[in-house]
Structure 1
């Protein structure tokens, strides 16, 4: 693709998946490099951005020469399974999340060769803050600081932008020689961006971490969050459950969740809820599968479909009538902030996987508007104001 060096800053998207970061940045940035190992996700990326300079393959095999070019922003949304509180907790040694180490090796090599991006962004689950006392996250930050960067982190829940509860940790590192406007920073933690886990993580950190720490300060989004009902497809591809299937799921609810359904029965309007099946310990010590529902207008966090229990179910209550079906693939993609013209895989599980493994587009757009472009584009903040 033809890079617009004189007008657009340039980014690299590592662990690119279906290209949610590209969906957020493409209007104002040029993609210098993208990389992912999953063939299905790479095909999805190419379908949407055929000029995206995508290199398909393992990050361990990515030639370092690909980074020897002017790039302003590195973005990495690495696999999260080994950092998640619901996972096995293997951290940087885990089968999936161990790919963070070769990515950091590439970053260090590029920096030492004279190709230092102005910004390094790293996104992952909030479990990184507490899992094994934050050891894996500290290692990531230690190596980024060693490359000549100041670091900060924000806990951003996507429900500030879309009706999906999806808290994620966003590490934003800026090169030491880049001027940071005082209005981008706070002298102390700021809610909702810096919660207690972040504060505890910094308090426990080394003197070097605290010396190089930045309390990023973002404005809250000004747009109201769209209603969940607005994301429901009129002609979904997901089939409705049979009455017996619906009854079986209702029987999996405890009293607390059944009471939510009974309250929806009395609402006097159609209520739309979302439901997950989860393993919960029983009084006899065994794990039982429970159905947990919410009618607060917020979908649960989308996850990769590793089985029926991980796929989100929609619950429609109209008086005493209760209907259920799986979340449609297009509904899942919309909850990630992707536009309707986004080209998704045809297979349901593939499309759901692209969504569940991605980053919410409006969150990246917010970071771009208030951090990325003001840091890399001269006078952007003044023009935007």
Structure 2
């Protein structure tokens, strides 16, 4: 049986790839024309509305969805943001989105489940009060809800922890196996446990500690995804690579030397960051890692946010930007996913997205079991 969903702030449609063919999209929206073009190119059978969520109405939402997925803007909740939180212009888009959830509820079309996705900083933003606001929103509509932090590194060679709050409509059965008696170390970090202390008594009464299974060991390494002949980017000149090496601290330069000493082909990644030196002077540094895990993909707001590849093989060291196809692979997108032609547009699409196998894990471990349990209850 096929399930249905709405995809708010849909971007390039990565959530849909994670949900898979058992799910049918009834509605999708985004405000970014370039991302919308990518969505349409890769989800030709789905209709996407290019419109600000504040301008979406009930009439735009067909039928009744089993799941609402919402990867609402993260900029004001990010640890690198301006601290505005849910009061900010971008992350504040949660409020008109949730008004639509209230409207669906009043219209007798409350979705069976609602899943929010955002950055880890959503837990601690505004002293944890933004987290409490999200919890209160679920509680006011009678949803039983909980949150998990899932790092894409369990599935892909990218360090990408993300916050997911999932609510189940109050009239539905939740299988006992999906709920734990308390927090678990894998999915409920200390910041999340601490954030629960700010919940109102009513919200705390509806809180669930979601019990997700441990995923199988990841079998793919960063080097498996790196192209020898990259698309859309060129290898740096020797002088450019030497400049990167010159920007490293002794600690990071020693990592390169150790990689050279192995004589093997070793792939690392570099981010440029501004750090204070021993005298307190801020300098741009190149920080490298060779643990076969990429740093978290970010949107290319500036040159420092683009991840650089460093390929070491004996004395030979090469460097270049991560290609857009490699960025897509690090998000779990299929090789035939149609990317924007411009590098920055493709990199931004990936950096703003949700990791496909993380969505798949949530669907298989939580969404589908809830729907199956309630379908069986109706049949019985």
TM range (shorter): over 0.9
Matched residues in 1 for 2:43 and 2:311: separation? 36
Task: For structure 1, list consecutive stretches of 5 or more residues without a partner in the other structure.
Answer: 1-6
Q: Deviations over 1:234-281 (max 9, x none)?
A: 320210111111111111111221111111111221110011001223
2:210 corresponds in structure 1 to 216
1:239 corresponds in structure 2 to 234
The offset of 1:209, in angstroms, is: 2.6
Tell me, yes or no, if the aligned pair for 2:173 and 2:374 is still in contact at 8 Å: no
Q: Which runs of 4+ in 1 moved over 3 A?
A: 282-286, 378-381
Q: Deviations over 1:174-203 (max 9, x none)?
A: 111111111111101112101111111112
- 1:304 equivalent to 2:299? Answer yes
The offset of 1:379, in angstroms, is: 7.7
Matched residues in 1 for 2:48 and 2:61: separation? 13
Matched residues in 1 for 2:177 and 2:122: separation? 28
Q: Paired residues, what number? A: 376
1:256 corresponds in structure 2 to 251
1:269 corresponds in structure 2 to 264
Pairing 1:197-208 to 2, within 5 Å after superposition: 197-208=191-202
Matched residues in 2 for 1:129 and 1:274: separation? 28
Matched residues in 2 for 1:285 and 1:153: separation? 40
Matched residues in 2 for 1:225 and 1:168: separation? 21
Tell me which of 139, 142, 156 is aligned to 1:148: 142
Matched residues in 2 for 1:35 and 1:127: separation? 24
Instruction: Go from structure 1 to structure 2 and tell me whether the alpha carbon gap of 1:209 and 1:378 turns closer, same or farther (over 3 Å shift).
Output: closer
Matched residues in 1 for 2:98 and 2:179: separation? 26
Tell me which of 288, 293, 296 is aligned to 2:283: 288
Matched residues in 2 for 1:108 and 1:285: separation? 51
2:313 corresponds in structure 1 to 318
Pairing 1:178-193 to 2, within 5 Å after superposition: 178-193=172-187
Tell me, yes or no, if the aligned pair for 1:126 and 1:169 is still in contact at 8 Å: yes
Task: For structure 2, list consecutive stretches of 5 or more residues without a partner in the other structure.
Answer: none
2:106 corresponds in structure 1 to 112
Matched residues in 2 for 1:372 and 1:53: separation? 23
Tell me which of 91, 116, 123 is aligned to 1:122: 116
The offset of 1:341, in angstroms, is: 1.1
**Matched position secondary structure for 2:188:** coil
Tell me which of 144, 161, 168 is aligned to 1:167: 161
Matched residues in 2 for 1:307 and 1:321: separation? 29
Coordinate RMSD, CA, aligned: 1.6
Tell me, yes or no, if the aligned pair for 1:374 and 1:380 is still in contact at 8 Å: no
Tell me which of 54, 73, 80 is aligned to 1:79: 73
The offset of 1:64, in angstroms, is: 2.1
- 1:367 equivalent to 2:362? Answer yes
**Matched position secondary structure for 2:262:** coil
